[in-house]
C-alpha cells in the first residue's frame, strides 16, 4: 500500500492509506444506505439450508427515499420460502448454489434491497453458501484485535490439505471432511496476490481441532507483524532560502495495514517535521 502527499511549509498534510485485501468484495457488498438497512440472520450457511434477511427503514430515512423497497437487486440463488415481495420485511430463501468450493476459500455476496418509488438507493447484507461438510472457522487478527485479510490458513487431516484466505474482517472458513485436523496460518498475501515480503509470525503457530457436521471447529490466530513503513522524499534537496513543496511517498507493506486511517504530519515552524525537513533539505 502506498500513500502519496505533498508538504508545503505551514500546511498540515493528511495521509490516508488505501484499502487492502483480496476479499474487499465483502465490504463492498455490505453497504447500507441511509434509506434502509438489511441484516442477514446467519451470514454463512451450507448448501441446501435456508438463509433469511430482514429489512427496515434506515436511520436517515426521509420521504425522498420512497415509500417502500423491493427485493431482488442481489439475492442468493435458490427457492423463495417466505416473503421477498415488494415491501416485505423478511426474505427467506432455500439455497441451491454455492459461493465457495470444497478445497478453496469462500466468497461473500450481497443480499440486497433497492428503493422503490423514490431515490435510487440500495442496501445489502452479506452471505456465503458453502458445500455440505464439517467446518473449521475462526479469525486472523492483529495484536490490537483488528482483522487481518488475506492470511492463508491451512488444515491438514483426513480430507487432505485444505486451505483458504481470511476475509476483510479477518474471518476464514474451511469446508472439510469430518475428522481431526492440524490448522495453521501459512503466510500473508500481498495486494497483488503474491506472498508478502513483510515478515509475520502467528500465535499460536498451529492447533489441533476436530470438526464435525454438527459442530464447527474454532481456531483463532494472532498475526504478529513488523513495522515496514518506508518514507521517500522527492526532491531530496531544495533551496533553503525559500518555500518549496516536497512530495513524500509513504509505503506500508505490512500485512493487514489499517485501511482508511489518517496520519497527519505538521510542517509548521518549530515542529518536528519542520526541523527534520530542514536538516534533510539543506544537507
Indicate whether 61 and 84 sit together in one domain.
yes
Residue 283 has pLDDT above 60, yes or no: no
85 or 2, greater pLDDT: 85
Indicate whether 115 and 172 sit together in one domain.
no
Retrieve residue 136's grid coordinates. Answer: 473449521
Beta-carbon contacts of 93 under 8 Å, excluding residues fewer than 6 positions away, are 50, 51, 52, 75, 76, 78, 79, 80, 81, 84
Listed range (3-7, 72-76, 208-212) with the worst mean pLDDT: 3-7
Ranked by mean pLDDT, which of 14-23, 52-61, 273-282 comes out on top? 52-61
In the prediction, which pLDDT does 81 show? Answer: 96
Tell me how far apart the alpha carbons of residues 100 and 130 are, in angstroms, rounded to a whole number.
5
Binning pLDDT at 50, 70 and 90, where does residue 273 land?
very low
Tally of domains within the chain: 3
Indicate whether 36 and 56 sit together in one domain.
yes
What's the whole-number average pLDDT of the chain?
A: 74
Indicate whether 210 and 221 sit together in one domain.
yes
pLDDT in tens, 28-82: 445 788 999 999 988 888 889 999 999 999 989 999 998 999 997 788 999 999 9
Binning pLDDT at 50, 70 and 90, where does residue 266 land?
very low
Q: Which domain holds residue 189?
A: 133-225
In the prediction, which pLDDT does 204 show? Answer: 95
pLDDT in tens, 244-254: 777 777 665 55
Indicate whether 28 and 128 sit together in one domain.
yes
Indicate whether 150 and 178 sit together in one domain.
yes
Residue 233 has pLDDT above 70, yes or no: yes
Indicate whether 115 and 128 sit together in one domain.
yes
Where residue 36 sits, what CATH number does that domain have?
2.60.40.10
Residue 114 has pLDDT above 70, yes or no: yes
Domain boundary among 82, 115, 132: 132
Indicate whether 220 and 236 sit together in one domain.
no
Residue 27 has pLDDT above 90, yes or no: no
Indicate whether 235 and 250 sit together in one domain.
yes
pLDDT in tens, 168-206: 788 888 888 899 999 999 988 766 556 665 678 999 999
Tell me how far apart the alpha carbons of residues 271 and 265 are, in angstroms, rounded to a whole number.
9
pLDDT in tens, 99-108: 865 445 567 7
189 or 112, greater pLDDT: 112
Indicate whether 36 and 123 sit together in one domain.
yes
0.85 exceeded by pTM: no
Indicate whether 147 and 220 sit together in one domain.
yes
Residue 112 has pLDDT above 60, yes or no: yes
Domain boundary among 72, 98, 132: 132
Indicate whether 193 and 252 sit together in one domain.
no
Domain boundary among 132, 162, 197: 132
Amino acid at each position: 500500500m502506498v500513500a502519496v502527499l505533498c508538504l508545503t511549509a505551514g500546511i498540515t498534510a493528511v495521509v490516508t492509506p488505501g484499502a487492502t485485501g483480496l476479499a474487499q468484495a465483502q465490504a463492498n457488498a455490505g453497504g447500507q444506505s441511509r434509506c434502509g438497512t438489511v441484516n442477514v440472520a446467519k451470514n454463512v450457511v451450507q448448501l441446501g439450508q435456508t438463509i433469511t434477511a430482514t429489512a427496515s427503514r434506515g436511520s436517515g430515512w426521509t420521504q425522498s427515499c420512497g415509500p417502500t423497497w423491493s427485493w431482488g437487486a442481489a439475492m442468493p440463488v435458490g427457492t423463495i420460502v417466505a416473503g421477498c415481495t415488494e415491501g416485505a420485511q423478511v426474505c427467506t430463501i432455500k439455497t441451491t448454489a454455492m459461493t465457495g468450493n470444497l478445497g478453496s476459500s469462500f466468497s461473500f455476496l450481497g443480499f440486497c434491497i433497492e428503493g422503490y418509488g423514490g431515490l435510487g438507493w440500495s442496501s445489502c447484507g452479506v452471505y456465503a453458501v458453502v458445500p455440505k461438510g464439517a467446518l473449521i472457522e475462526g479469525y486472523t487478527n492483529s495484536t490490537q484485535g483488528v482483522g487481518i485479510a488475506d492470511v492463508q490458513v491451512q488444515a491438514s487431516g483426513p480430507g487432505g490439505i485444505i486451505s483458504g484466505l481470511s476475509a476483510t474482517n479477518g474471518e476464514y472458513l474451511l469446508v472439510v471432511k469430518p475428522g481431526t485436523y492440524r490448522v495453521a496460518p501459512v503466510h500473508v498475501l500481498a495486494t497483488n496476490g503474491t506472498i508478502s515480503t513483510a515478515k509475520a509470525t502467528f500465535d499460536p503457530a498451529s492447533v489441533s481441532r476436530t470438526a464435525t457436521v454438527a459442530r464447527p471447529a474454532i481456531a483463532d490466530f494472532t498475526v504478529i507483524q513488523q513495522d515496514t513503513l518506508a518514507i521517500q522524499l522527492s526532491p531530496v534537496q531544495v533551496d533553503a532560502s525559500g518555500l518549496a513543496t516536497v512530495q513524500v511517498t509513504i509505503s506500508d507493506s505490512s500485512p493487514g495495514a489499517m485501511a482508511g486511517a489518517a496520519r497527519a504530519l505538521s510542517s509548521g515552524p518549530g515542529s518536528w517535521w519542520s526541523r527534520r525537513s530542514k536538516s534533510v533539505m539543506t544537507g
